[in-house]
Amino acid sequence: MTGYRISRLGLQGDGVAEGPVFIPLTLPGEEVEAEVIDGRARDVKIITPSDRRVAAPCPHFRSCGGCQLQHADDDFVAAWKTDVVRNALKAHGTETVLRPVVTSPAGTRRRAGFAARRTKKGAMAGFHGRASDTIIEIPGCLLLEPDVLAGRAVAEALALVGASRKTALSVMVTGAENGLDVAVSHGKPLDGPLRQQLAAICESMKLARLTWEDEVVAMREPPVHSIGAAQVSPPPGAFLQATLHGQQVLTDAVLEVTAGARRVIDLFAGCGTFSLPLAAHAEVHAVEGEAAMLASLDAGWRHAKGLKTITTEARDLFRRPLMPDELRKTGAVVLDPPRAGAEAQIAELIKSDVTKIAYVSCNPVTFARDAAVLVGAGWSADWVQVVDQFRWSSHVELVGSFTAPHMQG
């Protein structure tokens, strides 16, 4: 065993000691002893604990790989996530106002990925253990909505009929307003008997929809989510914000940035997380690479009342970003790209006459890279709202507000 002093937390939430050596479940300032192999620590013993250390609220915290930061108090986690964003921006020479973190309450996560395996006595389902393929049963996860946590029993039932003895099922459970939306991968090939068994599980467990390897095998009714004034039924596997609370915080920030714009372009629009609330006040053009998600957005808009016009366009924005002439007469743009960011689109936006940008990001590193391009072109980085809807994890989300050079002063 070797002694170490933790100097800081890395981006994955692990403590970092000189070396660097990554030591999970530790905090800055702590003196620890550990056995280290290939830069990773095991058998960690805390010699001098931090005064920010708290007792983890979940009894499974040390074994489960779902959370990284239950051992730190809430104020520390909020400050650390703010610093992650600040340091990412600082690395590119960008400064802005960082608003206080808004954190989603416990028990509000509306989706979870369970691993489920057949056993000699039946089946088991849970989450993968910390840095391992071992499945840890978590009967009382503090993060999940109760209905989503109940999806663990669904995963076990599916494993009994559809898992091989060699491979664990991956069971993604999303809570909709009218039941669970369940998508399964790594299962047995579909045949007649398996289809019948899966349909029976969907009915007996009152699932809204059951998808097996991208094929909808049973559906009692399309899963429904309220987005703004619309009801949307996303395609299987579609991206949704992790909590309704976090979605509302992000939406409020986007609406603040775009206030007053008569026409808004929503890039990487998904199923309409921002397009539909925006349409209460502005005409919206929604652009997204996945046509099925746009179809869900469009159907939700057509059945809603009181919304302004939403047009849609299926387009790969990484390969074909909107050009300046396509951005003309647009008051504001919303960007919500994947973790890779929006480098190609930013390069065109700085040539356009767009006045405001609301940039929603799940990756502070690529956000900071793109923000630096905007600032370098004269745009003002007005503020950043940090949002923590992945409580007790190292994940950080945010909304940044940017104003064009010709609108300043």
Task: Report the catalytic residues.
Answer: 362
Q: How far apart are CA 194 and CA 33, in angstroms?
A: 51
Residue 121 contacts by C-beta under 8 Å, 6 or more apart in sequence? none
Helix 74-90 to helix 364-376 angle, to the nearest 10 degrees? 40
